[in-house]
């Protein structure tokens, strides 16, 4: 069975990438491997801006709102891990609603491109479908640096979604 690796970070582009990956898995009899990389250094305001922020439980949302009002300090890794679990749960639910098989990988930590490439090897994925921009800062480039690195180094089919 063909495995499609989908890194999910809660961004709009990642959610669109997941939808397209599910379409491909349905059409070609594939399965989805979901990966989330711990987003260290994000502020509470950035986390609350995620496309999946409405899925955060009340306790986490209240904590993020307090942190947001307190300034621009990074959200503690323990909270980002709970956010990552929520993102993975939301993605897995979308895959499940489509009746597809999904592997939920453990939350990774480190350089996002390296984590994605390592996950590709670990899962044997023949395709990576990912958003062209994630939750990181934006600049004039329409194509994110993580996407560029992954696509340059991956030895499989890669699809970028905007």
- The domain spanning residue 55 has which CATH number? 3.40.50.620
Domain that holds residue 25: 3-161
What's the CA gap between 58 and 39, in Å, rounded?
Answer: 21
- pLDDT at res. 136: 52
- pLDDT at res. 71: 85
Residue bearing tokens 């984590």: 115
- pLDDT at res. 106: 97
Q: For 49-73, what is the mean pLDDT?
A: 92
The proportion of the chain whose per-residue pLDDT surpasses 70, expressed as a percent, equals: 93
Of 130, 103, 85, nearest to 33 by C-alpha is 103
- pLDDT at res. 81: 96
How buried is residue 145: exposed, middle or buried, by Cβ count under 10 Å (0-12/13-18/19+)?
middle
Weakest-pLDDT range from 3-17, 88-102, 113-127, 143-157: 143-157
Compute how many other C-beta atoms are within 10 angstroms of the C-beta atom of residue 48.
Answer: 18
Q: Would you list the DSSP string of 33-73?
A: EEE-B--TT-BHHHHHTSTTGGGS-HHHHHHHHHHHHH-SP
User: What 3-state class would DSSP assign to 127?
Assistant: strand
Q: How many domains does the chain have?
A: 1
88-142 pLDDT, tens digit each? 999 999 999 999 999 999 999 999 999 999 999 999 999 999 998 655 544 444 4
- pLDDT at res. 133: 67
- pLDDT at res. 121: 97
Whole-prediction pTM? 0.91
Task: For the chain, give the mean pLDDT.
Answer: 92
The proportion of the chain whose per-residue pLDDT surpasses 90, expressed as a percent, equals: 85
Helix axis angle for 58-70 and 77-97, nearest 10°, is: 140
């Amino acid at each position: 069975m063909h495995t499609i690796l989908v890194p999910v970070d809660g961004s709009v582009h990642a959610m669109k990438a997941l939808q397209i990956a599910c379409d491909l898995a349905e059409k070609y009899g594939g399965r989805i491997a979901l990966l989330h990389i711990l987003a260290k250094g994000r502020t509470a305001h950035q986390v609350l801006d995620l496309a999946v922020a409405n899925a955060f439980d009340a306790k986490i949302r209240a904590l993020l709102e307090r942190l947001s009002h307190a300034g621009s300090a990074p959200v503690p890794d323990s909270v980002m891990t709970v956010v990552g679990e929520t993102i993975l749960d939301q993605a897995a639910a979308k895959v499940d609603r489509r009746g597809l098989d999904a592997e939920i990988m453990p939350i990774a930590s480190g350089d996002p491109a390296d984590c994605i490439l390592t996950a590709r090897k670990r899962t044997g994925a023949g395709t990576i479908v990912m958003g062209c921009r994630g939750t990181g800062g934006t600049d004039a480039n329409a194509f994110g640096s993580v996407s560029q690195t992954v696509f340059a180094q991956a030895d499989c089919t890669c699809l970028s979604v905007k």
